[in-house]
Amino acid sequence: MAGLILILQRACWLPLAALLVGCATSPTGRQQFMLVPPGSAITMAESAYMDTLRHFASKGKLLNNPALANRVALITGRLVTVAIQEYPHTAHWKWSVALLDEPSANAWAMAGGRMAIHRGIMESLRLSDDEIAHIMGHEIAHSIANHHAERMSMVLAQNLAVSVMEENVGGSAGLITDAVASVALTLPNSRTSEEEADKIGLRLATMAGYDPRAAVTLWNKMLAQEKTKPLEFLSTHPNSAERAIILASLVGEVQALRPSVPPQPHRLKIYAAR
């Protein structure tokens, strides 16, 4: 977050009261406080995502596993098909998933459908296809609900100043990119946004043909693993023992949404080593 804080320091002469404060409504009907428009978050995330992937690639951290790449592409592609059907404005997003050769158990998303999943979360939890679907559905839900823009807005509001104009930060495009990446990779999500992503992700995964009960087994696995080895996923997706219980209570409600034939997968970009 150092880059974002420096931007704020350089823009400290801008009083918050002078800013145009916007609001949005999440897919669940929740009112969201937005200083950073979702469209701006998507634009900034594109550069941040590619810079982040170049960083991993330079360290040889893109995963070379064609079978896994095909598996993730199929699962996530089906989820994206449903996402576009349910939220047509996402059709123009540059949907993508990076496979990262990282032992840490994590997955993350930036605005506009740009995602990544680490080798560690698949190996340590021995994920089934249905469980992968719920992880990726959860990350897609964060993008759909504009949680990245919302978190950026809250950081800016808490620091009482904001600058989204490059000339106001002395040409600090690199700092902006670092800040956007930091929000996605290291800043914890709020409990409200996590609950929202759980519900939206559960619905997406079920409509994509995956077993909704796998959302519960996934969280039970994470909670069991956390007792012996901390999961990076839970540092940015705060843990609550109630989450598996809440998801279990929703399984019956969404079961009827599961199609007998899964949808055709949307074609998306997979970033992996060759």
What's the pLDDT tens digit per position in 84-126?
999 999 999 999 999 999 998 889 999 999 999 999 999 999 9
Q: What is the pLDDT of residues 170-224, one digit of tens each?
A: 444 454 455 554 554 455 567 788 889 999 999 999 999 999 999 999 988 888 8
Q: Any idea which residue has 């095909």 for tokens?
A: 70
pTM of the model: 0.81
Helices (H), 30-96: 38-58, 66-86
CA distance 202 to 220: 15
- The domain spans of the chain are 2-271
Sort 25 into a burial class: Cβ within 10 Å, 0-12 / 13-18 / 19+: exposed
Nearest to 262 by CA among 213, 205, 222: 205
Check pLDDT > 70 for residue 165.
no
Mean pLDDT is lowest, of 15-29, 52-66, 162-176, 248-262, for 162-176
Q: Which residues of 48-66 are buried (b: 16+ CB within 10 A; e: fewer)?
A: bbeebbeebeeeebbbeee
CA distance 7 to 172: 8
Q: What is the pLDDT of residues 115-125, one digit of tens each?
A: 999 999 999 99
The pLDDT-based confidence of 14 (bands split at 50, 70, 90) is: very low
What pLDDT does residue 162 have? Answer: 40
